[in-house]
Amino acid sequence: MGRTLAEKVYDAHVVRHAEGEPDLLYIDLHLVHEVTSPQAFDGLRMAGRAVRRPDLTIATEDHNVPTTDLLKPIADPVSRTQVETLRKNCSDFGVRLHPMGDDGQGIVHVIGPQLGLTQPGMTVVCGDSHTSTHGAFGALAFGIGTSEVEHVLATQTLPQTKPKTMAVTVDGALPEGVTAKDLILAIIARIGTGGGQGHIIEYRGEAIRSLSMEGRMTVCNMSIEAGARAGMIAPDETTFAYLKGRPHAPQGADWDKAVEYWTSLRTDDDAVFDKEVVIDAAELTPFVTWGTNPGQGLPLAESVPDPASFSDPAQRQAAERALEYMGLTAGTPLRDIEVDTVFVGSCTNGRIEDLRAVADVLKGRKVAGGVRMLVVPGSMEVKKQAEEEGLHEVVAASGAEWREAGCSMCLAMNPDKLTPGERSASTSNRNFEGRQGPGGRTHLVSPAVAAATAVTGRLAAPADL
């Protein structure tokens, strides 16, 4: 019987297999940031262990970094200590670090692909659940906790049980104005926040094949929001074209060898998935969330649902609670929801293509009075490229703020936060209670919807302008 893409990559990394024990899986790339690593490095110190492969490890500062005043020390002493701890740990253990202010700094899931370090067929881990992003290249990439971070630092491996596989096939072409973000929000609403639990999702079908690498990263990024630790897309010409010439991509004869191997990384025709879902791209429209988990989403044209319409008691109760927290009334058209803040950025939608989509909408338009809009590039490299294209001028002319790179308001560990009761349209990945600041209310949207919303002050798509 044939194997799926996920199984091929998994099998190629098994260091040791023994009946009744988890497999020992080799890790090709370990991404590190300041939040989930300090206790892991401490653990190494206490046990007198070294980092086994510092050359397969790379660190950046992203979660805590302010997006203004980069040259000043971080004002929050606790954030500052965490960032300084990462610097000391990287220096002590010989790990390459891109600190704040460095040209290579950025969100960990933006810089890996940007450097060409994320390649098809690799295993990639990070103490961050959005590591699934790297699956866009046909890598097996998943988030881990701090104990596992320590384990990878010490051994470059992880004990793993082979996950089940799930195919999400998106047939047909995405209609005009429908983006990768709308697609993944619709998938999560369809399969639920637990739908991919215990599985690796492989995204397939014409609509997926037609996505750029940026779009594929947006889709794979939010796999975890559907419960799956990893999402993957088979590498193809789009993948190879993105990688070619990047600083860490193979060169010369190595490139040819790599491409030959990468080309073999596709699910065999006779392979069987444990679970399959088929989605018709033609039915999709701009999609937004109304609740407090990413599965609570609907097409923008719909209205806030009535909790009584949910047959499952847990879902009904969750919807009741969500409406209360979000300050929404059932039956309100989603397009009537007014926002205070618009956030563009994050590992989901902080890449160059996302910023271009935002600038396209903002060009010649103004952010509505009373609305604050933050545009936060995913990395300093993305910021530089955007500025070369003049996107920062479009953003500034509209009245939005053009910031430095980092995770920013996606999780509000830096000074960019919502205040209690404040409502945002956000291109990030989680609408959990308090995610963007205590008491803050988040609607997840695509970059295009975010920009149109900023212009009208209400949830809107560019077609509404």
Partner 1 sequence: MEAFTTYTGRAVPLRRSNVDTDQIIPAVWLKQVSRTGFDKGLFSAWREDPDFVLNRPRHEGAGILVAGPDFGTGSSREHAVWALQQYGFRVVIAPRFGDIFRNNSTKMGLLPVVLPADRVEDLQTRVEKDAALEITVDLDKREVRYADVVTSFDIDDYTRWRLMEGLDDIGLTLRHADAITTYEESRPAWLPTAV
Q: Where in 368-387 is the site for partner 1 (CB under 8 A)?
A: none
Determine if 82 is a binding residue for partner 1 (CB under 8 A). Answer: yes
Distance separating alpha carbons of residues 140 and 230, to the nearest angstrom:
7
Fill in the per-residue mask, 3 to 22: x = in contact with partner 1 (CB under 8 A), - = not in contact: ------------xx---xxx
Instruction: Take residue 32 and report the two structure tokens written for it.
Output: 């590190």
Select 105 or 453, whichever has its Cβ closest to partner 1: 105
Task: Count residues binding partner 1 (CB under 8 A).
Answer: 88
73 part of the interface to partner 1, by CB under 8 A? no
Which one of residues 151, 383, 423, 458 is an interface residue with partner 1 (CB under 8 A)? 151
Q: Are 459 and 435 in contact (CB under 8 A)?
A: no
Check binding of 264 to partner 1 (CB under 8 A): no
Instruction: Give CA–CA dist 459/423, Å, rounded.
Output: 11
Q: Is residue 310 involved in binding partner 1 (CB under 8 A)?
A: no
Radius of gyration in angstroms for the set of CA atoms belonging to the chain, rounded to a whole number: 21
Under rule CB under 8 A, residue 85 binds partner 1: yes
Out of 5, 6, 9, 35, the only residue in the binding site for partner 1 (CB under 8 A) is 35
CB 288 within 8 Å of CB 342: no
Using CA atoms, how far residue 83 sits from 65, 86, 105, 110, 160, in Å, is: 8, 5, 13, 19, 30
HSE of 7 in the Cβ direction (CA atoms, 13 Å)? 14
What whole-number distance in Å separates Cα of residue 221 and Cα of residue 217? Answer: 6
Least distance to partner 1, CB of residue 381, Å: 16
Q: Maximum Cα–Cα distance for the chain, whole Å? A: 64
Q: Is 66 in the site for partner 1 (CB under 8 A)?
A: no
Binding partner 1 by CB under 8 A: which of 3, 87, 154, 164?
Answer: 154
Check binding of 434 to partner 1 (CB under 8 A): yes
Helix (H, G, I), strand (E, B) or coil at 165: strand
Burial class (CB in 10 A: 0-12, 13-18, 19+), 269: exposed
Which of 106, 295 has the CB closer to partner 1?
Answer: 295
Q: Does 190 bind partner 1 (CB under 8 A)?
A: no
Contact call for residue 79 and partner 1 (CB under 8 A): yes
Site string for partner 1, 276-295 (x = CB under 8 A): ----------------xx-x
* Contact region with partner 1 (CB under 8 A), list: 1-9, 221-229, 278-286, 350-358: 221-229
For partner 1, the closer CB: 94 or 390: 94
- The structure tokens listed for 308 are 């009584």
274 part of the interface to partner 1, by CB under 8 A: no
The backbone torsions φ and ψ at residue 30, rounded to the nearest 5 degrees and listed phi first, read -120, 115
Verify binding: residue 117, partner 1, rule CB under 8 A: yes
Residue of 39, 212, 263, 285 that binds partner 1 (CB under 8 A) = 39
Least distance in angstroms from the C-beta of 197 to partner 1:
6
Close Cβ partners of 375 (under 8 Å, ≥ 6 residues apart)? 344, 345, 355, 358, 395, 400, 401, 402, 403
67 binds partner 1 (CB under 8 A): no
Among 315, 320, 340, 393, binds partner 1 (CB under 8 A): 315
Binding segment for partner 1 (CB under 8 A), chosen from 111-119, 299-307, 334-342, 360-368, is 111-119
Among 365, 433, 462, 464, indicate the residue that binds partner 1 (CB under 8 A): 433
What are the backbone angles phi and psi of residue 63, rounded to the nearest 5°? Answer: -65, -40
- Give the footprint of partner 1 on residues 316-355 (CB under 8 A): 317-318, 321
Nearer to partner 1, 57 or 105 (CB): 57
Stretch that binds partner 1, among 190-198, 204-212, 300-308, 389-397 (CB under 8 A): 190-198
Q: Does 36 bind partner 1 (CB under 8 A)?
A: yes
Using the rule CB under 8 A, which residue among 161, 264, 309, 332 binds partner 1? 161
Strands 401-402 and 372-375: parallel
Instruction: Tell me the sheet residues that pair with 425.
Output: 342, 443
Q: Is 42 in the site for partner 1 (CB under 8 A)?
A: yes
Contact between 193 and partner 1 (CB under 8 A)? yes
Among 462, 422, 429, 464, smallest CA distance to 445 is for 429
Nearer to partner 1, 273 or 402 (CB): 273
d(C-alpha 310, C-alpha 8), whole Å: 40
Please list every residue from 226 through 245 that binds partner 1, using CB under 8 A. Answer: 227-229
β pairing state of 297-299 and 287-289: antiparallel
- Is 452 within 8 Å of 185 (Cβ atoms)? no
Q: How many degrees, rounded to 5, is the angle at CA 355 between CA 403 and CA 244? A: 110
Q: Is 261 in the site for partner 1 (CB under 8 A)?
A: yes
Q: Based on CB atoms, which residue is closest to partner 1, 318 or 451?
A: 318
